[in-house]
Amino acid sequence: MKRKLKTTLLMGIGIGFIICSTFNIISKEFFQEEINDEYIKTKAKQMGMVDPKDHFVKKDIYNKEVKKEEPVMKKKNEKELIKVVIPKGSTSEEIGEILKSHNVIQSTKLFLRKINDKNLEEKLRWGVYEMKINASIDEIIEKIIVKK
């Protein structure tokens, strides 16, 4: 009697596995969305991720793909201003290099340290800015962070 019960129980479990596996295979064929590059990009954007092509192509300052605008000096209220262009998608390191190349800051390392200390790496904005030559790093950071 016990042997028959064990055999019946194991057969029931085996049949259950077969039925579940068959249902799983059939349901995947009918209900699964096709996963392609466009689907992945759409889901990634919904989650707040960026496409590397949008982020790095056309603006890599090290590959000189972006035309670097020459700094324009202006006199405005007796304070020297310089035009600084920060390309879309620039990292904090790239922004530091841009600011240093325009002589807006003296030290890229100090700029990056302040950005990291204040946890502002993700809040820097791209765009065209007029910066004071003698501005403090805190003033410069305040000018280019995202304000909420």
DSSP single-letter state for residue 124: B
Residue range 65-144 forms a domain whose CATH class is: alpha beta
Residue entry with tokens 């765009």? 127
How much is the pLDDT for 14?
Answer: 92
For residue 39, the one-letter residue type is Y
Q: Evaluate whether 126 touches 89 at the Cβ level (below 8 Å).
A: yes
Helix, strand, coil percentages for the chain (3-state, nearest 5) = 50, 15, 35
For the chain, where do the domains classified as CATH 3.30.1490.480 start and end?
Answer: 65-144
Specify which of 34-38, 67-71, 101-105 reaches the highest per-range mean pLDDT.
101-105
DSSP single-letter state for residue 119: T
Specify which of 36-40, 70-74, 90-94 reaches the highest per-range mean pLDDT.
90-94
Dist CA 129 CA 83 (whole Å)? 6
Query: Can you tell me the mean pLDDT for 47-52?
Result: 69
For the segment 89-143, what is each residue's pLDDT rounded down to a tens digit? 888 888 889 888 888 888 889 988 998 888 888 888 888 888 887 788 888 888 8
Asked whether the predicted pLDDT for residue 67 surpasses 50, the reply is: no
**Contacts for 104-112: CB closer than 8 Å, 24+ residues apart:** 104/131, 104/133, 104/135, 104/140, 105/137, 105/140, 110/137, 111/137, 111/140, 111/141
Asked whether the predicted pLDDT for residue 61 surpasses 60, the reply is: no
Asked whether the predicted pLDDT for residue 65 surpasses 60, the reply is: no
Q: Please give the mean pLDDT across all residues of the chain.
A: 77
* DSSP string covering 11-74: HHHHHHHHHHHHHHHHHHHHHPPP--HHHHHHHHHHTT---HHHHHTT--TTTT-SPPPPP-EE
Dist CA 91 CA 115 (whole Å)? 11
